[in-house]
């Protein structure tokens, strides 16, 4: 069964669980805000459903609450930050703030973030930079756990879902934000489908012989088969390059050395942050961006499509809908979160009482 919960109640119970993991108030707020916002944006794969995984990683001693990252001195516009296996949501923001200090001098800042715990929804960082008036691009590789995505032509997984995000700082109807895994879908979407007991489109997955399959169970429960890269050889090539940029260039490792890493989700991230004023007047760039948005919106939609969307628009629409009607969570995801809370010493009835249904849901 799926129930809708108020964003506020999910934020509060996420905060409570993170405090039980050992996160201090500041870190718990940052991570809870990130996860619930991912749910609000429609990315349930990177929302509160990740909490049981984080709990296991904290329990194993791999994911470290309240970590102090190593903030390297800037080399020109380039800053390297070692997150030392801290909560990625928090470490990435500290890393971006550190790297952005070079912007007044260089008008561009590059961050190489190493050894972060799961940074979750990568679009959060492009939005963070856009809110400050900067254009940005972020490339993230994923190591520490088994490969999930088959490179084009392979029958077994070799890399992970290696996401990319980018945004333009425009504060009106159009807030262009591309935020995507280089797999056809993020692994979490397969996990969510399995938790709901539903099939997935067969273009998303191959079985262990390399044939398309719509059954998420073998992949989620036994890691049998693999996710496909989006766009055949092109998306596969992009995913492999993200591995090189985030892993070989700025990180300390790629999937080629996965055997040597702790069993947790490790994200490395290359971020490129640009001050648009170095190119032209910021308002002029914003106006050109908005003109382009209007132009795209006037493209005739294909049969069966209401209108052409800019990347980022589905998330804006979903936030509006979920803020009004609540965030849907399936019973299995709720059970896993509550069980994790009990493992960390929370009292079951009191923790369950934090799940407030949204009264406006039919
Ligand atoms: N931290 C990690 O290790 C990690 C790994 C993989 C993915 N992720 C995250 O997973 C999330 C989900 O990724 P995904 O690839 O499944 O996202 P998705 O396929 O839902 O969306 C990808 C992009 O396409 C745009 N889009 C969607 N429908 C559209 C339409 N009809 N018209 C125009 N644009 C449209 C969205 O706005 C988004 O920018 C992302 O937030 C990503 O950052 C994180």
Q: What is the pLDDT along the chain (362 residues), one digit of tens a residue?
A: 889 999 999 999 999 999 999 999 999 999 999 999 999 999 998 999 999 999 999 999 999 999 999 999 999 999 999 999 999 999 999 999 999 999 999 999 999 999 999 999 999 999 999 999 999 999 999 999 899 999 999 999 999 999 999 999 986 666 899 999 999 998 888 988 998 899 999 999 999 999 999 999 999 999 999 999 999 999 999 999 999 999 999 999 999 999 999 999 999 999 999 999 999 998 899 889 989 999 999 999 999 999 999 999 999 999 999 999 999 999 999 999 999 999 999 999 999 999 987 654 44
Written as six digits, the tokens of 213 are 């399959």
- Quote the ligand 1 centre to 290 CA distance (angstroms): 22
What's the pLDDT at 170? 81
Residues in the chain: 362
- Quote the ligand 1 centre to 229 CA distance (angstroms): 13
The residue whose CA is least distant from atom 9 of ligand 1 is 121
- Quote the ligand 1 centre to 72 CA distance (angstroms): 31
- Quote the ligand 1 centre to 274 CA distance (angstroms): 22
The residue whose CA is least distant from atom 32 of ligand 1 is 309
Which residue from 86, 133, 141 is spatially nearest to 271, judged by alpha carbons? 141
pTM greater than 0.85 (yes/no): yes
Q: Which residues contact 222 (CB under 8 A, 6 or more apart)?
A: none
The residue whose CA is least distant from atom 31 of ligand 1 is 309
What's the pLDDT at 360? 46
What's the pLDDT at 312? 96
Q: Is 178 in the pocket of ligand 1 (CB under 6 A)?
A: yes
Q: 166 phi and psi, to 5 degrees? A: -155, 150
Contact 147, 160 (CB under 8 A): yes
Which residue from 102, 112, 87, 99 is spatially nearest to 33, judged by alpha carbons? 87
What's the pLDDT at 362? 43
């Amino acid at each position: 069964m799926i129930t809708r919960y108020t964003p506020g109640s999910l934020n509060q119970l996420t905060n409570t669980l993170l405090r039980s993991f050992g996160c201090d108030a500041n870190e718990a707020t940052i991570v809870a805000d990130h996860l619930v916002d991912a749910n609000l944006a429609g990315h349930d794969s990177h929302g509160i459903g990740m909490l049981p995984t984080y709990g296991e990683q904290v329990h194993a001693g791999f994911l470290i609450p309240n970590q102090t990252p190593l903030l390297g001195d800037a080399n020109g516009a380039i800053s390297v930050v070692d997150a030392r296996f801290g909560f990625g949501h928090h470490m990435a923001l500290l890393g971006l703030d550190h790297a952005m200090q070079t912007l007044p001098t260089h008008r561009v800042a590059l961050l190489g973030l190493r050894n972060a715990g799961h940074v979750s929804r990568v679009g959060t960082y492009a939005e963070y930079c856009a809110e400050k008036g900067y254009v940005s691009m972020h490339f993230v590789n994923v190591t520490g756990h088994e490969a999930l995505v088959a490179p084009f032509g392979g029958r077994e997984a070799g890399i992970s879902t290696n996401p990319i995000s980018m945004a333009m700082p425009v504060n009106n109807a159009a807030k262009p934000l591309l935020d995507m895994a280089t797999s056809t879908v993020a692994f979490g979407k397969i996990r969510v489908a399995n938790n709901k007991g539903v099939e997935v489109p067969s273009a998303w997955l191959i079985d262990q012989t390399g044939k398309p399959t719509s059954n998420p169970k073998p992949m989620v429960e036994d890691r049998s088969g693999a996710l496909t890269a989006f766009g055949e050889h092109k998306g596969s090539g992009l995913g492999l390059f993200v591995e090189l940029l985030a892993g070989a260039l700025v990180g300390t490792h790629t999937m080629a050395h996965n055997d040597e890493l702790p069993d947790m989700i490790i994200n490395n991230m290359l971020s490129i942050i640009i001050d648009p004023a170095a190119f032209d007047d910021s308002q002029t760039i914003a106006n050109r961006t908005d003109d382009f948005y209007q132009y795209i919106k006037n493209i005739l939609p294909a049969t069966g499509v209401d209108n052409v969307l800019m990347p980022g628009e589905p998330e804006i629409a979903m936030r509006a809908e979920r803020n009004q009607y609540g965030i849907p969570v399936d019973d299995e995801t709720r059970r896993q979160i509550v069980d994790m809370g009990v493992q960390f010493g929370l009292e079951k009835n009191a923790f369950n009482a934090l799940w407030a249904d949204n009264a406006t849901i039919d």
